[in-house]
Amino acid sequence: MGKLSGKIALVTGASKGIGQSIARLLGAEGATVVVNYATSREGAEQTVAEITSAGGEAWLMQGDFSNHEDITRTFAEIRRRHGRLHVLVNNAGIAGFGPLEQVTGEEFHRLFNLNVLGLVLSMQAAVPLMVEGGSVINIGSLGGSMPSAYGSIYSATKGAVNNLSISLSKELGPKQIRVNALNPGLTITEGLQASGFMQGERYEAAIKATPLGRAGQPDDIARIAVFLASDDAFWVTGQVIQAAGGITL
């Protein structure tokens, strides 16, 4: 029996990277995992296959969480199939970097619509299904509390994730719904590898600045998410957890 046996969990953006690892480990601990994806169906199918081949339960749900209709449709299907939800991992998000002079209204809203508004609407839709209490894990970023140059709008969205998580933990505590922000630092994902960042001086500097001496792996983040999802973390809510190998400055 896993520590999440009998639990229903939704992981948004679970077709690759951190979301895929979280979904896989939640499934390994006995949760029935709803694997959400926006466009990468092949990756989402792989996530489901990995969970089910290991003896777990999972199913696919397409939905763009920057779109209110898709969010509503996703939770309606969860209600139809299960009637309840115990764990919500708001992992879907996008990054964007560039100098101030290149910021546009379109880019601003593209980032905020998914990273912030989508997260709020997702929680709004999840709460009525968390009739037995539950755990909400909002995946932020180290950039939310330690912004870098050229990441002003992205960092602003992740700072908002932190503040929303703290505020909503206080609002939802009486319903026995815990809300925490989980903020990865430098983590080796498909996106990071494709960016070319891992070959540059900035990558080497980031490793040197990490007390544990390496970049994170998706499973490093996923293991913390499993803890937050489980009853082991029953007394943990309203926290901003930096999962960055010890970086504090």
DSSP string of 176-243, one letter each residue:
TEEEEEEEE-SB--HHHHHHTGGGSHHHHHHHHT-TTSS-B-HHHHHHHHHHHHSGGGTT--S-EEEE
At which residue do the structure tokens 């619509």 appear? 113
Active site residues: 154
Q: If DSSP codes are grouped into helix, strand and coil, which group holds residue 131?
A: strand
User: How many CA within 13 A on the CB side of residue 6?
Assistant: 5
- Distance between CA 46 and CA 54 in Å, rounded? 12
At which residue do the structure tokens 């100098």 appear? 99
* C-alpha R_g of the chain: 17
- Distance between CA 105 and CA 91 in Å, rounded? 24
State how far the alpha carbon of 141 is from the alpha carbons of 33, 93, 238, in Å. 23, 10, 16
- Residue 166's Cα: distance from chain center in Å? 16
- Distance between CA 167 and CA 171 in Å, rounded? 7
Q: Is 14 exposed, middle or buried (0-12, 13-18, 19+ CB in 10 A)?
A: buried
